[in-house]
Structure 1
Amino acid sequence: MITCNEIETDSHSILSRIVTILLFLLAQLVATLLIGSVALAVSFEPVWSAEAQPAAFIKPSDARAGSLLLKNDDGYADATRLGIDVDITVSGPTIRARVTQLFRNPTQQWVEATYVYPLPDGGAVDTLKMVVGDRVIVGDIKERQQARVIYEQAKQNGQKAALTEQERPNIFTNSLANIGPGQTVLVQIEYQEPVHQSGNEFSLRVPLVVAPRYNPAPVVQTADLRADGSGWGATKSDPVPDRDRISPQVADPEENAPANPTSITVRLQAGFPLGEVKSHHHQVQIESPDETTRVIHLANGPVPADRDFELTWKAAAEQAPSVGLFREHVGSADYLLAFVTPPSAAQVEQKQLAREVIFVIDNSGSMGGTSIVQAKASLVYALGRLRPNDRFNVIRFDDTMDVLFPSSVPADNRHLDTALSFVNGLQARGGTEMVPAMRAALTDNAGLDGDDVRQVVFLTDGAIGNEQQLFDTIAAMRGRSRVFMVGIGSAPNTFLMTRAAELGRGAFTHIGSVDQVEERMRGLFAKLENPVVTGLAATFSNAAADITPAALPDLYRDEPLVLAAKLDRLAGSIEIKGRIGDRPWMVTLPLANAAEGKGISKLWARRKISDAEVARTMRQMSPEEADKAILALALEHRLVSRLTSLVAIDKTPSRPVGEPLKLTELPLNLPAGWDFEKVFGERARLPVQPTERRADAEAAKTQLALLKRPAVVPAPSTITLPKTATDAEAKMMAGSILLALGLILLAVNRRQRFAR
């Protein structure tokens, strides 16, 4: 017979075991969370999310854009928009950037996310990582079509997969397949680029938003296909065949809280004592660990991705290094990166040649808002800098075009007054037909017989999709003209600007705010008015070298020559020579003095790829030859290019068989300063009050996990990490419940013992 004391003892024993098990489980959960935090070095920050209200959205072909839209059978369902973290390290002449994108699927459906985003056009993208559950999958470089096939097969198999593709050198697309209900997935890319230098100022630019592009309509041509005229045929050519891939949805700022919250950190290790460090478009906090180092953070936390981030720095003594030489050994080759700034040509005495300056101003709809104000102010300043012996003309364009004077006129008061009235009366409207305006500007009646200097100053935001048509026009018609591109606004198309200036043997200047107009235009005219360093050549004394750029460009005032080379050995010296005005100039640099650098081999390969694209445009290489060279370089150096992509596949299927997959498209913000109605037409007014929008933005909070560990694995691999793509909030809640239950049972147990 079992006694009451035995029953009581058994109950106490059972309770004790339950408490022990619960406490063990709780301790295991806490340990897992702690190990995960240490292993991932993850930090959490609050970011914006438009989670509560349905969002209006616009696609290029129809209506509005919102936060994150999940396409379903009934149309679009609202979902959470998550954030981006940009972590940059500047090491002397090179920049290493890590961009982490966090996606969360709050729906009960399996989704595929696609996101179009910008990167610097000179960036060498070489790393893709995807965090899935307890693993980090490192991507591999493949030919573009092969990578797409691998991704599509993994998507069909229910495996998580990430694909990074280049749409333009400055526009990329990330696709992420099979995000499960409630799951959070991180995708991280890394890229390398050189620091930009102008005189004693160094800078970097992080593009944060892809501005809406104007894409000219396809051209349909008809032709008589028969000799007797009895039959007709039609051919269709599309100047922007990938228009759908570079035209993401754009949020209407009148109807949506800011989206795409972005955190930015810059670790600046200049290699010389620093003077002024300045962020031009964002408020920042700057820490100064020592005289050569600065750590820069956004002052007010994450910001909406609606304008480029620009950082500049100067040497403490206003004396920037005029020469820099850096080396890297990879495989059996040595790679060299040289920065050489010739002496200022301002002191060189020369006869001032008469100039013909053709000003072109973009007054299309994308220039609405503050951009047209900046452009007009810049042109007014430029007209005021013309000399009496100069001639000029002004061209304005949207989807139409006007040339102010039948031909170039003297820069006298009468003609300048007419031009000022013309410029002041401009308003932003219509499409962006840039190619006809460039043709008109490059039409040179005097031709090579002209004895003046012919310069084209082109002011635009560059928001077009048919860049190649513009490049072909410049290559075919440049003649003796030199093309100077002036980028206007918060998010200019820097790829178009830099490539057009390169093909036009000119320079590129960016004006991001009205406050920069006078300073930046003064710098531009210093280039226009001073002698050019010409005839540049570089030779190596004791090494065979593959140099990029293949043809060294002319240099304008304060511009450095940036040269990269692949060497069979690091020996001897490099000699660079040219002419400043009418005077010879030369510098010799011993290679033994080169400092150690990182990522130089990738910068060399990226610039060689750019050389091949330019040679193709200039008809110096056939399309087949150019593609072969680009593919070989990209595969050897593991770079994303027009012909290669990075793909990462989780080998473990996650989406159940038969479960449908929904497409997710992530819209972007309208670039800061743009006028939505000028670009997309008048909106249908919705009854949303500003106070309600602010309340939505403040009430909807998410967590942005920042993956900080750099990828060092050169081939596809899997690294085991604590689970980060599961529902952390649910785990924490469950842990709290278990802890509370354990404490209650422990108290009951003790009470019963005291009762005995």
Structure 2
Amino acid sequence: MNIKTLSGTLALSTLLTLAAAPPANAAGLLKPVNSTIPELSIREHHVNVVVEHSYAVTTVEQVFHNPSTQALEAIYSFPVPEHAAVGEFTYWINGQPVTGEVVKKQQARQIYEQEKQAGREAALVEKDSYKTFDISVTPVQPNSDVRIKLVYIQPAHLDSGVGRYVYPLEDGGVDVQKNAFWSRNEVVDEKFSFDMRLASGYSIDSVRLPQHTQAAIQQVSPDQWQINMASQAGALSQVVLTDDQPALSGQQPPTEQINNAGIVPAASLDKDIVVYWRHSQNLPGSVDLISYRESEATPGTFMMTVTPGDDLGALQGGRDWVFVLDVSGSMQGKYTTLVEGVRQGLAKLRPDDRFKVVLFNNSATDFSHGFQPATVEVITPLLNQLVQYQPGNGTDLYSGLTQGLKGLDADRSTAMILVTDGVANLGVTEKKRFLDLMEKADIRLFTFVMGNSANRPLLNSMTEVSNGFAISVSNADDIVGQLMQATSKMTHQALRQVELKIDGGRVTDLTPEQINTLYRGEQLTILGRYHKPGPVQVTLTGKAGEQIRSYHTEVNLPQQSLLHPELERIWAFASIENMQAKMDYLGADESSNADIKQAITDLAIQYDLVTDYTSMLVVREEVFKQLNIERNNQLRTEKENSARQQRLQQPNSSQRADSQKPMFNPSQHRATLGGSGSGAVGHWILLLIGVLLMVQYSNRHNRKKS
């Protein structure tokens, strides 16, 4: 099944802008609601990001302050970044940094509580499923500070020639019970900074922070850029992250941004920081390779990034579109904009298209009463009824999907567009049931994952079994850019039944194990282990329409490679995500699940990773010794930090591995948003800009009122 129209995509595109909700909460220090416990403050918050060669390393250093006369515990929570592996956590004890070690989750919590009761220094990083990372630190002494550092690693890939990095701060509001129990302090009182170094083996055309126009952006070389933001507390001229623009000279800041001392704080941690970078056009398709192998006695780890040339043709013809829209309580305050988005989107459908609209909250409603022709006579009364609908209640996602799958015509190509945060809290909630439903359906699911703390594991898995795709969206995103990326995929052929084979090198433990589909502009990233250095043969095959495509090259796996030790953690975490997906697919098979849980735990402890079953613990050095906890992670982080310093001192270089024998035809450049076949997109997008501006204004207005 292929996607065949551009016009239908615009209905989806407009709807995408609607789901960026005003943030209910943010990253910050937690305190029970209505508690008499004194409140801690965030004195400093500093972020350093290095993006190079397909992965990003994010370092967050914070200083918490206790202004009270009693010792307190600090609890800091922030959204889980996508595919992020927490590998380092440091707590300064008596002025000296102490690096955490990974142990089983229950054991880590027990040790932390014991140290807390004894009045000794301890800190803990725990993962709350797909929602948040929670940091606990004890004690914060009266009128004193504590300093902590957290480092996480995640892949950083291109889509249609555009890279995207998100530093997540907004809370998605998906955990109602947690948000009802805790109040949050997201204000940074004194100092805030965000620094990012962007390095690539290919020339970078431009860099953009759509919601932080005050950032200083500097091009260091054709393939290196630097981004900086910094602010301090003061009466004027500081950066306040809740505003889209810097304060004007002489302008009074909003009252809610002034602290008890009458000083405007340095920042508020309630808006994501999103950075885009765009590679130059006319770059060739390529295979890039980075690796780590310490010695002949150990296996090597590699990351292979395949960026295809643009040889997928545009599609023609009408089709059926099923829009499954979340109208639960989180949609209140933006429903009027949603209706306007539907109006604009349906107006762009082709005469030979049909559409169906399904709404869901506590239950699902076939709002359009089956598929309808995309005519003015049908669309106008439906929209008039839609205006009267009142959003609210919970989220029965399964009912919404089931209703959307009813009445499909086997003789017409159909796509389902799902807009939700994926937090199924009513009806069927078992992930296995969702996967079975989508696997049996003859339909591709295209999902827009809205906000942080969304149930990405569920939504991504559903799209994978249906050979669709999922796009994450932040309130701080460049919405027009996200629309164009989605449009490019849904109006062109996809490479289906994709397989990548590596002959030689005694390569093992590849992830992902199954690829299925590559859409236009997508990169394919393969992680794995190798035991025999030297040349290996790489073959990529798939089907475009009914035509079989095959691409081939030869790359070299090095004897020794010491510059990217982080690859071991990235591979291990990707393997853990793969095992977790398997466990979800198997459902409630307790014996199989127990084996997989144990395998995840063992791998997480071996490579020092925070997961659903493991946590990172910091105690005094003598306590580590008493508990016989080996300092493996301390050694690993020292190795990683040393390698980062070496990379920083070396000139940036290309990691292209197929220069001698290109995998793709050099005349077929990489797909870009401005490339072949997408020229018409720009004209339609211009028609949407008015709606987009209204959406952004509405969201800002709602945030200020809330």
State the TM-score, normalized to the length of structure 2. Answer: 0.71
- Give the alignment's Cα RMSD to 1 decimal: 3.6
Alignment partner of 1:107 is 2:68: yes
Is the contact made by 1:80 and 1:104 (CA closer than 8 Å) also made in structure 2?
A: yes
Superposed, 1:602-617 pairs within 5 Å as 602-617=569-584
Superposed, 1:71-86 pairs within 5 Å as 75-86=36-47
Is the contact made by 1:67 and 1:79 (CA closer than 8 Å) also made in structure 2?
A: no
2:209 aligns with one of 262, 279, 297: 279
Question: Counterparts of 1:296 and 1:202 in 2: how far apart (Å)?
Answer: 15
Instruction: Provide the secondary structure at the position in 2 that maps to 1:713.
Output: helix
Alignment partner of 1:453 is 2:453: no
Name 1:471's counterpart in structure 2.
431
Is the contact made by 1:487 and 1:510 (CA closer than 8 Å) also made in structure 2?
A: yes
1:389 aligns with one of 352, 361, 373: 352
Distance 1:202 1:83, change over 3 A: same
Q: How many Å apart are 1:310 and its aligned residue? A: 1.1
Name 1:211's counterpart in structure 2.
172
Question: Counterparts of 2:607 and 2:323 in 1: how far apart (Å)?
Answer: 41
Distance 1:258 1:73, change over 3 A: closer
Alignment partner of 1:528 is 2:450: no
Kindly provide the amino acid, as one letter, of the partner of residue 286 in structure 1.
I
Instruction: Provide the secondary structure at the position in 1 that maps to 2:357.
Output: strand
Kindly provide the amino acid, as one letter, of the partner of residue 111 in structure 2.
I
Question: Counterparts of 1:251 and 1:170 in 2: how far apart (Å)?
Answer: 16
Instruction: Provide the secondary structure at the position in 1 that maps to 2:133.
Output: strand
Q: How many Å apart are 1:605 and its aligned residue? A: 1.1
Instruction: Provide the secondary structure at the position in 2 that maps to 1:615.
Output: helix
In structure 2, runs of 5+ residues without a counterpart are 1-23, 231-237, 240-265, 624-632, 640-706
Distance 1:82 1:111, change over 3 A: same
Instruction: Provide the secondary structure at the position in 2 that maps to 1:127.
Output: strand
Q: How many Å apart are 1:379 and its aligned residue? A: 4.0
Instruction: Provide the secondary structure at the position in 2 that maps to 1:602.
Output: helix
Superposed, 1:392-407 pairs within 5 Å as 392-407=355-370
Name 2:614's counterpart in structure 1.
644
Question: Counterparts of 1:76 and 1:147 in 2: how far apart (Å)?
Answer: 25
1:557 aligns with one of 505, 509, 520: 520
Q: How many Å apart are 1:373 and its aligned residue? A: 6.3
Superposed, 1:90-489 pairs within 5 Å as 90-213=51-174, 244=178, 249-250=182-183, 262-283=192-213, 284-298=215-229, 301=239, 302-317=266-281, 319=283, 322-330=286-294, 332-347=298-313, 352=316, 355-369=319-333, 372=335, 375-376=338-339, 378-425=341-388, 428-441=391-404, 443-446=405-408, 450-462=410-422, 469=429, 471-478=431-438, 479=440, 480-488=442-450
Kindly provide the amino acid, as one letter, of the partner of residue 109 in structure 1.
Q
Is the contact made by 1:548 and 1:611 (CA closer than 8 Å) also made in structure 2?
A: yes
Question: Counterparts of 1:606 and 1:91 in 2: how far apart (Å)?
Answer: 19
Is the contact made by 2:304 and 2:525 (CA closer than 8 Å) also made in structure 1?
A: yes
Is the contact made by 1:335 and 1:600 (CA closer than 8 Å) also made in structure 2?
A: yes
Kindly provide the amino acid, as one letter, of the partner of residue 444 in structure 2.
R
Question: Counterparts of 2:383 and 2:189 in 1: how far apart (Å)?
Answer: 39
Distance 1:438 1:320, change over 3 A: farther
Alignment partner of 1:633 is 2:555: no
Q: How many Å apart are 1:598 and its aligned residue? A: 4.9
Distance 1:716 1:510, change over 3 A: closer
Distance 1:265 1:257, change over 3 A: closer
Instruction: Provide the secondary structure at the position in 2 that maps to 1:477.
Output: helix
Q: Map Cα deviations across residues 432-480 of structure 1 (whole Å, 9 max, x no partner).
A: 4434323322x3445xx82333322112345667899273342021122
Question: Counterparts of 1:453 and 1:259 in 2: how far apart (Å)?
Answer: 55
Question: Counterparts of 1:105 and 1:646 in 2: how far apart (Å)?
Answer: 24
Question: Counterparts of 2:394 and 2:455 in 1: how far apart (Å)?
Answer: 16
Kindly provide the amino acid, as one letter, of the partner of residue 280 in structure 1.
P
Distance 1:638 1:336, change over 3 A: same
Kindly provide the amino acid, as one letter, of the partner of residue 406 in structure 1.
H
Kindly provide the amino acid, as one letter, of the partner of residue 187 in structure 1.
I
Is the contact made by 1:439 and 1:473 (CA closer than 8 Å) also made in structure 2?
A: no
Is the contact made by 2:394 and 2:426 (CA closer than 8 Å) also made in structure 1?
A: no
1:714 aligns with one of 616, 632, 636: 636
Question: Counterparts of 2:335 and 2:540 in 1: how far apart (Å)?
Answer: 42
Question: Counterparts of 1:66 and 1:542 in 2: how far apart (Å)?
Answer: 47
**Greater Cα shift, 135-144 or 321-330:** 321-330
Question: Counterparts of 1:481 and 1:261 in 2: how far apart (Å)?
Answer: 50
Q: Map Cα deviations across residues 126-172 of structure 1 (whole Å, 9 max, x no partner).
A: 11110122211110011111211221221122111011111124511
Instruction: Provide the secondary structure at the position in 1 that maps to 2:111.
Output: helix
Kindly provide the amino acid, as one letter, of the partner of residue 403 in structure 2.
A
Kindly provide the amino acid, as one letter, of the partner of residue 554 in structure 1.
T
Q: How many Å apart are 1:372 and its aligned residue? A: 4.6
State the TM-score, normalized to the length of structure 1. Answer: 0.67
Distance 1:69 1:346, change over 3 A: closer
Q: How many Å apart are 1:580 and its aligned residue? A: 1.9
Q: Map Cα deviations across residues 24-43 of structure 1 (whole Å, 9 max, x no partner).
A: xxxxxxxxxxxxxxxxxxxx
Question: Counterparts of 1:306 and 1:440 in 2: how far apart (Å)?
Answer: 36
Question: Counterparts of 1:510 and 1:616 in 2: how far apart (Å)?
Answer: 23
Q: How many Å apart are 1:505 and its aligned residue? A: 2.9
Q: Map Cα deviations across residues 668-713 of structure 1 (whole Å, 9 max, x no partner).
A: xxxxxxxxxxxxxxxxxxxxxxxxxxxxxxxxxxxxxxxxxxx963
Distance 1:167 1:257, change over 3 A: closer
Q: How many Å apart are 1:119 and its aligned residue? A: 3.0
Distance 1:261 1:385, change over 3 A: farther
Distance 1:339 1:636, change over 3 A: same
Is the contact made by 1:87 and 1:98 (CA closer than 8 Å) also made in structure 2?
A: yes
Of structures 1 and 2, the one scoring higher in RCO (CA 8 A, sep 6+) is: 1
Question: Counterparts of 2:343 and 2:189 in 1: how far apart (Å)?
Answer: 35
Q: Map Cα deviations across residues 695-743 of structure 1 (whole Å, 9 max, x no partner).
A: xxxxxxxxxxxxxxxx9633899xxxxxxxxxxxxxxxxxxxxxxxxxx
Largest Rg, 1 or 2: 1
Is the contact made by 1:576 and 1:588 (CA closer than 8 Å) also made in structure 2?
A: yes
Question: Counterparts of 1:547 and 1:68 in 2: how far apart (Å)?
Answer: 39
Q: Map Cα deviations across residues 286-328 of structure 1 (whole Å, 9 max, x no partner).
A: 1222222111112654531112211111123463754322222
Is the contact made by 1:262 and 1:304 (CA closer than 8 Å) also made in structure 2?
A: no
Kindly provide the amino acid, as one letter, of the partner of residue 577 in structure 1.
T
Is the contact made by 2:362 and 2:426 (CA closer than 8 Å) also made in structure 1?
A: no
Name 2:3's counterpart in structure 1.
none
Alignment partner of 1:587 is 2:551: yes
Q: How many Å apart are 1:213 and its aligned residue? A: 1.7
Is the contact made by 1:122 and 1:169 (CA closer than 8 Å) also made in structure 2?
A: no
Is the contact made by 2:211 and 2:476 (CA closer than 8 Å) also made in structure 1?
A: no
Question: Counterparts of 2:598 and 2:161 in 1: how far apart (Å)?
Answer: 39
Q: How many Å apart are 1:556 and its aligned residue? A: 1.6
Question: Counterparts of 1:142 and 1:107 in 2: how far apart (Å)?
Answer: 33
Q: How many Å apart are 1:269 and its aligned residue? A: 1.1
Is the contact made by 2:196 and 2:228 (CA closer than 8 Å) also made in structure 1?
A: yes
Q: Map Cα deviations across residues 96-152 of structure 1 (whole Å, 9 max, x no partner).
A: 111223221111112122222113120111111101222111100111112112212
Instruction: Provide the secondary structure at the position in 1 that maps to 2:635.
Output: coil
Is the contact made by 1:170 and 1:495 (CA closer than 8 Å) also made in structure 2?
A: no
Q: Map Cα deviations across residues 392-423 of structure 1 (whole Å, 9 max, x no partner).
A: 21122334543213322333333333444445
Percent identity, aligned pairs only? 22
Distance 1:528 1:384, change over 3 A: farther
Question: Counterparts of 1:167 and 1:73 in 2: how far apart (Å)?
Answer: 23
Is the contact made by 1:345 and 1:532 (CA closer than 8 Å) also made in structure 2?
A: no
Name 1:570's counterpart in structure 2.
533
Question: Counterparts of 2:216 and 2:169 in 1: how far apart (Å)?
Answer: 19
Is the contact made by 2:217 and 2:227 (CA closer than 8 Å) also made in structure 1?
A: yes
